[in-house]
Structure 1
Amino acid sequence: MTKVPDEWVEELRQRVDIVDVVSEYVPLRRAGRSFVGLCPFHNEKSPSFSVSPDRQLFHCFGCGAGGTVIRFVMDIEGLTFPEAVEKLAHRVDLQLPAGFHRQGETPPQDSRRQQMLDAHQLAAKYYNYILMNTAAGVQALTYLEGRGISRQTIMDFELGAAPDAPDALVRFLRKRGYSPSLIVESGLGVAMGAKVVDRFRNRVMVPIRDAEGRVISFGGRALTADAKPKYLNSPETELFHKSEVLFHFHAARKNVRKSRTAVLFEGYMDVISAWQAGVRHAVATMGTALTEEHARRLKRYADVLVIAYDGDAAGRKATKRALEIAANYGLTVRVALFPDEMDPDEFVRERGAAAFQRQVHNLAVTELEFLLEDLRSEAALDSMAGRTDFLRRALALLAERASPIEQDAELRRLSSEFQVSPEALRQELAMVAKRRPKRNRQSRMAAPEEVHRASVPVQEKDVSASQRILQALLVEPRAYEWLLSRGVDELATVEQTALLARLYHFRSVHQDGSPSAFLDSLEDPLLIRLASSLLMEDPPECSEAVIDDCLRIFKLHRAERKLREAMKELVQAQVDGCDNVTALKHTVEELQETCAALRQQLAGSMVTG
């Protein structure tokens, strides 16, 4: 997060009225002590979105979104925590603390890095001015308009033109105090012996921004057919690492978060065309394949990734690589196919915006469909040997990747197409499956302890007791010591246990930290949902006695479960005439006494009553 004092962030939360902020985005009406409205984070017809002015929290009982005013601004605007904090501080005229800087941003005293950022911002404005206001930009402007790029889109992306002069930008920056060495270090210039010249000349210029919208590099598209390379990007610098940057992510993030879907293109011209065609949740990798860092960043905001690469052989090959990385990070993958080896930009220009949106949104195929179609494109289906080889490869793919429903559907289709009985295909699939076990994608599988616990029935009263314990730990700092002294390290469900662990860590560092501060520290959507729902309820009585009652509920249900198992064993032992009948009777009697004692202790308690 950001390096600011906890006390300052807490003051910010107290100064900002969450109802005022939310009302700017969502029509609210009062309902008792809270306000309700239609949730802005998912489509609904009946309001399930609630804002509590008393607790300064929001929670949607439909989709689970929830948190403080800082979380709301993050989610609704697609901002990072530091960006949301800064926006709200300006709103209430709260001075940012000394040394405030955003994640990944070097503090102000690192003037050279800041100068590099400033130089890039100036260069973007310079290139845009050349494009829109000078004769040197006419060729580039004509080119863009010929590709159907509107003036509004040019301004949205701050597109520009690099003049066909050896050192036009270098001279412009030097007049404003930037040294030749910094211009070279920034990637804007190139040292040619003792002279520094422009890196980009006679090109359409596309500013490349980081996640916070700051220009950190450029892409340049050549304006002459013989220029090499056709596309030229800035080199790797302190500001720009192409394996981490997604083009236009700063602007698409809000729409990606809202739709939980991202569309991934290969190049920035595809994204520009997609944006103009109404696809506002599109990003692109910067001259590199999809990386793990790209996938990790997308997963924070999206559940579904639509890969929309070029339709040629190279595009299909890149798609297959991207499929593996995206799926390994838990992203559901779809593939938008473009015909006749067209790239997305060409498709928009030839078929129009409506057809493009349909191709990306409605006609995108599943991972399995794409891979089967790719196998088909490489198969020699005009010969018996080629058809047999294709079927074996297809069955291997089904065995490795397909669900039972997908397997059944594809087997029926293959049976009809190749005139092979479904039974024969199923037999072959079974043999292939024995030799090729399904892939084990770590991110898609539950941890062993989660699988084990999911198989154990959870008592409703255990869940309620766990909620009381979590609420106590949220609102009462003393509950931390109470629970630790009793050795409580597991609750009724996996999510409740995970939230307990996070609360333990938070209380160990921030003994008197507020529930709002804890809520803002969470990143896992499931834990945010659970914590915000607990905080929206009226706080229950919190004392050591209440916690002890909650723990007795756990002990009672465990004892009752053991009693049922012991009684079954006793009956079976009596039927079989086993020697351990007496020992089992003793176990049953002890468990009955334990259950009776716990019920007596719980009689009339506030937790059970």
Structure 2
Amino acid sequence: MAGKIPRQFIDDLLARTDIVELIDNRIGLKKAGKDYQACCPFHNEKSPSFTVSRDKQFYHCFGCGANGNAISFLMEYDKLEFVDAIEELAGQFSLEIPREQGLGGPQRSFEEKKSDYDLMQQTARFYQQRLNQHQKSAEVKAYIAGRGLSQQTIDKFQMGFAPPEWDQLIRTLARNPAQRQQLVELKLATEKSPGRQFDFFRDRLMFPIRDKRGRVIAFGGRVMGQDQGPKYLNSPETRIFHKSFELYGFYEAKQAHRQLAQVLIVEGYMDVVALSEYGIDYAVAALGTATTAEHMQTLFRNTDQVICCYDGDRAGKDAAWRALEHALPNLKDGKSLRFVFLPDGEDPDSLVQKEGKDAFEQRLKDAEDYSKVLFSRLSEQCDLTTDAGKAKLLSEALPLIEKVPSEYYQESLLSTLARLIGRTREQLSAKLATPRKQHTIERKFKVTPMRRAIGLLLQHPSLASVVEHLPELAELPLPGMRLFLTLQATCLSRPDYTTAHILEAFRDTPEYSALNKLATWQHNIDEEKLIDEFKNTFQFIEDQCLNLRLETLLIKDKTEGLNSDERLECALLTQALGARRTGQK
């Protein structure tokens, strides 16, 4: 993707979006004073603690702490990536997303992108129609029935049939050379020689692949007989399809569950579809590739429990190991990774048909924890009866353990490793490249005068103009001073900014977390008293700055001596602080 999305475009998009309308369309809101309320969509509750402010263009849940602007809501509720959320908002206003100059090819317009997705959806409908309106329809439907799939499941996954003719899709959808070229670029057709195109998929059961927003972006095709080429044929990568980021069945699983309690990773399209037929509607499959780091990142953002289901042979064990390695950086507190290895000759499709839903889900309940799989794999390669074997296990296990972000999980893994090699957990903890500080209780976020000033300014950007902007104060080593001045300058330059705009500007900065907390801080100050409260807080901070500068000069006077300008400054500071203390102007 070439270039970043310009900040100005994101600001304008947030200004166009009414967060109340956006959220109301998804969960329903009720007026509560000047704000709006609902039961929080991010955790279970009986009485509403989720509030949405039209003035701030900001939402906050007092129960679970979820908060943010319109972009954040789409990312959390619709489970979209940042860019996808921007595209979703832009699409509501038919806006083309500009890009700053960067690496990559020329950018495509909104209409060009829309045309690609429209063509993919037309192709999916074409395959669905051929499933019902082709001379081989009866044969294909008999195959589907033999696989135990109902019409409901066929419709849910938009399954279809690619006819065996060489160019039926092209002749149906391409009305001119440009459309033929678009089919080739989206890998729906193949060009063997200039001007001669052929359908990419022929005589296969078709599985549309949908992205997180439900748009068809690619296809998978399965043969229905013997000697018909590879069992599965997947769309090659295109400008709208990148297989390492997408999971088959993920969109359908999200549609079936507002909150995914668990996700099961299997290997094939038919496994996902067959499991759904039996009510196991939370399975996904990688698209002709091993489970990637991006796949794991997506899954753990959407669920707390991931179960990987693989064959019990060496290939299955290798696939499980790759998945485990990619999952380790996502194992935060509360996240779970487990593995199921199937009997020889079985796959999820065949097994669920043999033993039914309850027995299959019992296998999932009995799944092995990732830690057992990790040490089982590493121990296979080490002779733990020798010092050399123990040293090898230590050297291979520690780098993997360091990838785990959860302090609790790290300690558990270290305890297991210590037991295997005859050491103590404390000895192994000292060997970690980045030892962790032990915190049993998180420090309370204390509202200091500086945080108070920043919080008030963040929630009420119009306050920026009621006190003087003094950029020279940034030179003083007062914690938070630079951030306050940056916020004030931002608000002065953009009087139209809301809380939502300011937070978006700081999304990828170290200050974002603290600002998020201050954006939801309940200051309980009456509106008519806000200006006086802010002025008084700023004066207190200004006094701190003056005192700090005076102390610096006095220390220098004792150690090095002051020049004439510094002596004058010292006298003026002493006079000014004295006047403030006595209440004189």
State TM-score, norm by structure 1: 0.68
Secondary structure of the 1:482 match is: coil
Aligned residue number for residue 136 of structure 2: 136
Equivalent residue for 1:590? none
Instruction: Count residues with an aligned counterpart.
Output: 526
- The offset of 1:11, in angstroms, is 4.2
| 1:353 is the counterpart of 2:357 | yes
Q: State the Cα distance separating 1:337 from its structure 2 match.
A: 1.0
1:549 aligns with 2:552: no
CA distance in 1, matches of 2:304, 2:484: 26
8 Å contact from structure 2 (residues 28, 38) kept in 1: yes
Mean CA deviation greater in 39-48 or 50-59: 50-59
What SS does structure 2 have at the residue aligned with 1:130?
A: helix
Helix, strand or coil for the counterpart of 2:171? helix
After superposition, the Cα gap between the structure-2 partners of 1:163 and 1:40, relative to the gap in structure 1 and judged at 3 Å, is same
Residue 520 (structure 1) shift: 5.0
- Cα 1:468–1:226, aligned 2, differ >3 Å: closer, same or farther? same
Is residue 28–residue 36 contact of structure 1 (8 Å, CA) maintained in 2?
yes
Alignment CA distance shift 1:185-1:508 (3 Å)? farther
Tell me which residue corresponds to 1:25: 27
SS of the residue corresponding to residue 44 of structure 2 reads: coil
Aligned to 2:323: 322
Cα displacement (A) at 1:285 = 2.6
- Give yes or no for contact 2:158–2:207 (8 Å, CA) kept in 1: yes
What's the counterpart of residue 469 of structure 1? 454
| Residue type of the alignment partner of 1:339 | L
Partner of 2:89: 85
What 5-or-longer segments of structure 2 have no aligned partner? 101-105, 402-408, 551-558, 560-575
Give 2:356's aligned amino acid: G
The correspondence of residues 281-430 of structure 1 with structure 2, limited to 5 A, is 282-295=283-296, 297-298=298-299, 301=302, 305-328=306-329, 332=335, 334-341=337-344, 342-360=346-364, 362-375=365-378, 378=380, 401=401, 403-408=410-415, 425-426=422-423
Cα distance in structure 1, aligned partners of 2:228 and 2:582: 86
Gaps of at least 5 residues in structure 1 are 90-95, 415-423, 560-582, 584-596, 605-609
1:527–1:178 CA distance, 2 compared to 1 (3 A)? farther
* Bigger mean CA offset, 179-188 vs 505-514: 505-514
AA matched with 1:327:
L
C-alpha spacing 1:297/1:484, structure 2 compared with 1 (3 Å): farther
Select which of 106, 109, 115 maps to 1:107. Answer: 109
* 2-structure distance, mates of 1:48, 1:106: 42
Question: Paired residue for 1:575?
Answer: none
Preserved contact between residue 469 and residue 489 of structure 2 (Cα < 8 Å): no
**CA–CA distance in 1 between the matches of 2:445 and 2:116?**
59
**3-state secondary structure, aligned to 1:235:** coil
Equivalent positions of 1:58-97 (< 5 A) are 58-68=59-69, 71-72=72-73, 74-79=75-80, 80-82=84-86, 84-85=88-89, 96=93
User: Aligned-pair RMSD on alpha carbons?
Assistant: 5.1
1:518 partnered with 2:497: no
Hey, what does 2:17 align to over in structure 1? 12
The answer (yes or no) to whether the contact 1:208–1:219 under 8 Å persists in 2 is yes
* Equivalent residues of 2:458, 2:499 under 8 A apart: no
- 8 A contact 2:449–2:537 mirrored in 1: no
For the 8 Å contact 1:519–1:531, the answer to whether it is kept is no
% identity of equivalent residues: 29
Show the counterpart of 1:123: 123
| Partner-residue secondary structure (3-state), 1:63 | coil
**Rounded Cα–Cα distance in structure 2 between residues aligned with 1:337 and 1:517:** 46
Is the 1:161–1:203 Cα contact (8 Å) retained in structure 2? yes
Deviations 1:546-572 (A, max 9, x none): 223256679999x9xxxxxxxxxxxxx
CA contact 1:334–1:364 (8 Å) conserved in 2: no
Please tell me the residue identity of whatever aligns with 1:517: H
- Give the structure-2-normalised TM-score: 0.71
Q: CA deviation at 1:314?
A: 1.6
Question: 2: distance between equivalents of 1:178 and 1:399?
Answer: 56
The change in CA–CA distance for 1:4 and 1:479 in structure 2 (over 3 A counts) is closer
User: 2:103: which partner in 1?
Assistant: none
Partner of 1:148: 148
Q: Distance in 2 between matches of 1:181 and 1:251?
A: 31
SS of residue matched to 2:539 = helix
1:8, distance to aligned residue in structure 2 (A)? 6.0
Residues 47 and 256 (structure 1), Cα distance of their counterparts in 2 relative to 1, 3 Å cut = same
Are residues 119 and 77 of structure 1, via their aligned partners in 2, closer, same or farther at CA, if it must alter by over 3 Å? Answer: closer
In structure 2, what is the Cα distance between the partners aligned to 1:260 and 1:536? 36
